[in-house]
Chains A and B, each alone.
Chain A
Amino acid sequence: MIEAPSTLPTGGARLPRGQALRRGLAANPLLVAGGLLSALIVLMALLAPLLAPFPGDAGSATHPFLVLRPPSAQHWFGTDNVGRDVYSRVLYGARISPLIAVVVLAISCAVGIPLGVAAGYFGGWLDEVIMRVTDIFLAFPPLLLALALAAVLPASITTVIIVIALTWWPWYTRLIRGQAASVAGRPYIDGCRALGISRRRIIFRHILPNSITPLIIQVSLDVGGVILTVSALSFLGLGAQDPTPDWGLMVAEGQNYFLTSWWVVTFPGIAILVTAFAFTLLGDGLRDLMDPKRIFLR
């Protein structure tokens, strides 16, 4: 194969921690941008009570005389169909939608990764069993499952989390299994076995770190996806209920007024967009950071 010669600097001593960190960050604009943006969103969520001009609007307050006002100096994002300040609700919404997404993805990873690694590394019948179970869960469309569960469980955020996590973990299992299987076949794993290194050490020190990168990217992309799925379920009335300022719910509720009062839908929509974007950037940056080929020494 003809390849361009590597242009990476090779050799050289290690820099002091601080300098290396600064260099690493400077070389990694995605990580910086994504990190800052995500931090901003987290900050918004934490400081919502302080930043929101009408904190009560995030709850069950209604203002019949302020219904559907366009953006103004008083209400930066306008008001919704019961007179609540959209800006305050968007701020408080940062506590809900992203949190749901994080919890859902955390559960999916906690279930999906061990199953995927086990299936990929051990192969054989364990692999078959795990993959068939995975296939069964993959076959459930989230909405159908949600409707089924709505018959037995009360509509709430918890229900939504359970439902989405149940349908989300199989994707991660599949993803990791493929990677783990590929890594397990490489000579250095054979070398570890020949050296008598324990299975546990091989899995945690070698298989897992080398398989996880595609998952990180996938998870960061999925933040936006989960938020949208939550809003779909909210739209069906199966998730967060009014007056919870869930962004998805706000979009769903504001649909009817879109043509006349665009601000009710647009601002929560932008919030979803920005959050998804922030986490995607963060994921890309993390992936680059974890790639040893981009380590800078001197």
Chain B
Amino acid sequence: MTPLPERGDRAVTPLLEITDLTVRFGPVRAVDGVSLRLAGGPFGLGLVGESGSGKSTIGRAVLRLVPTAGGHIRFEGKDVAALRGPALAGYRRAAQIVFQDPDNSLDPRIRVGASVAEPLIAHRIVARQLAAGRACELLAEVGLGPEFAGRYPHQLSGGQRQRVAIARALGVQPRLLVLDEPTSALDVKAQARILALIARLRADRNLAYLLITHNLGIVSELCEQTAVLYLGRVVESGATSELLSAPAHPYTRALRSAVPEIDVAARSARVVLPGEPPDATSPPPGCVFHPRCPLAVDRCATEVPALRTVRPARLVACHRAEEVLAEESTGAGQALGPSRPAGRPGWPPRVSRRPGPAPAGSGDAPRR
């Protein structure tokens, strides 16, 4: 359960609560027992992971776009899957999603203004005659002038299309926004503009959002809490700043070290993970990460690590989490143990036996 920030003396009731969510696509468990909590706005929860981690599936499950095989999703206390009729319509306005692919997130045959106005008309938020005006206001809110209303999506750049998609989602006044890789398809300046827009909307509209991404750089700016996913499971979660400065899971550490940094000083030793993310149809036994883990021991191949609290408000699923944390505080960014050559087949692995945490200095010299 992602810990929630304390406000005052009482814990805040979650806006969105995901409990033990399981989503299956055929034999594959895309999401396997994930639990998360999101507070009311302004609040950002980052969902970080690479391909196959299930992060996008979770976002879509929240919006009832994929059927779930287990667990519950509760919005303001009510089970989302059980909603019908007016309650469902209400939910459709309260929670919205912005997709990753700006090329296909808008109907290419409909002008931008009409696309933004469509949900307003469908939900009777404004009278039909006023919808166009309201659409222009929404476009202005995302930084696009009224001249964009008459254009077709293909006449806009990727960043502009993404902003239109956001404007379309905002029209229904959502309280929860799921952003599925909002910047992955954009170049660096467009990306910065979108992130600034999200920050501004968060403040102006008291928005709570689930920011799904593989880029740790953007969660650090926009999310109070972050959960790291690997093969459908949460491997670590906690306050973003702490998670990034002192990761407790080897995967989080590898992920963070893999992010390219401009500041030389901010770069940590590169932990190069061998192999590829495993095949989801036959996940490894025990800890799903152990074939690629530089810290794996015998126990990791047999026993699934439970998600447990290692620090106040920090959950980790790793048998050796304390050692990872200890390493972080001793040598900044020393790779634990010899770094493996890339390219070993991911599974089945050769599990190395380590007597205990490697003393600082026995590993390779920092890469940078």
Contacts and interface: CB of A to CB of B under 8 A. Distances in A.
Indicate if A touches B (C-beta under 8 A): yes
A196 B60 contact: no
B92 A194 contact: yes
B108 interface: yes
A186 B109 CA distance: 14
A266 B155 CA distance: 49
Nearest to B98: A191
Interface string B336-367: 00000000000000000000000000000000
A195 B109 contact: no
Contacts of A8: 155
Interface stretch (A9-17, A89-97, A151-159): A9-17
A210 B108 contact: yes
A197 interface: yes
Interface string B109-150: 110000000110011000000000000000000000001001
Given A188-B104, A188-B107, A196-B89, A14 B150 contact: yes
Nearest to B122: A197
A190 B65 contact: yes
A201 interface: yes
Interface string B91-109: 0110111011100111111
A20 B180 CA distance: 39
Contacts of B100: 187
A193 B65 CA distance: 8
Interface in A181-210: 186-188, 190-198, 201, 205-206, 209-210
A292 interface: yes
A158 B62 CA distance: 55
A11 B155 contact: yes
Nearest to B90: A196
Given A186-B104, A196-B119, A293-B152, 11 more contacts: A11-B155, A187-B105, A190-B97, A191-B99, A194-B63, A194-B64, A195-B118, A196-B122, A205-B110, A210-B107, A210-B108
A198 B124 CA distance: 12
A194 B96 contact: yes
Contacts of B150: 13-14, 297
Interface string A33-67: 00000000000000000000000000000000000
A191 B165 contact: yes
Chain A interface helix/strand/loop/mixed: helix
Q: How large is the interface on A (under 10, 10 to 19, 20 to 34, 35 or more residues)?
A: 20 to 34
Contact of B122 (A188, A190, A198, A292): A198
Interface string B30-43: 00000000000000
Nearest to A189: B107
A201 B122 contact: yes
A193 B67 CA distance: 14
5 contacts: A11-B155, A190-B99, A194-B65, A196-B88, A297-B150
Contacts of A13: 147, 150
Given A11-B147, A194-B92, A195-B96, A292 B60 contact: no
A290 B152 CA distance: 13
Interface in A280-298: 290, 292-293, 295, 297
A11 B169 contact: no
B122 A191 contact: no
B154 A292 contact: yes
B152 A292 contact: yes
A193 B60 CA distance: 11
A140 to B, nearest CB: 35
A81 B92 CA distance: 73
B97 to A, nearest CB: 5
Residue among A11, A195, A209, A297 with the highest chain B CB neighbour number at 10 A:
A195
A4 to B, nearest CB: 15
A210 B108 CA distance: 8
B311 interface: no
A184 to B, nearest CB: 12
B80 to A, nearest CB: 12
Contacts of A295: 152
Contact of A187 (B95, B104, B118, B147): B104
Contact of B101 (A10, A187, A197, A201): A187
B151 interface: yes
Given A13-B147, A196-B122, A197-B119, A191 B108 contact: no
A293 B165 contact: no
B168 interface: yes
A194 B155 CA distance: 25
Contacts of B93: 196
Nearest to B93: A196
B292 to A, nearest CB: 31
Given A194-B92, A195-B92, A210-B108, A11 B151 contact: yes
A286 B107 CA distance: 20
Contacts of A198: 122
B92 A188 contact: no
B154 A188 contact: no
A186 B107 CA distance: 9
B154 A210 contact: no
A193 to B, nearest CB: 6
A297 B150 CA distance: 10
Contacts of B105: 187-188, 191
Interface in A125-167: none
Given A195-B172, A210-B109, A10 B96 contact: no
Nearest to B62: A194
Given A8-B155, A11-B155, A195-B92, A187 B99 contact: yes
B65 A10 contact: no
Contact of A195 (B99, B106, B110, B122): B122
A11 B119 CA distance: 25
Residue among B89, B147, B151, B165 with the highest chain A CB neighbour number at 10 A:
B151
Interface string A98-123: 00000000000000000000000000
Contacts of A187: 99-101, 104-105
B179 to A, nearest CB: 13
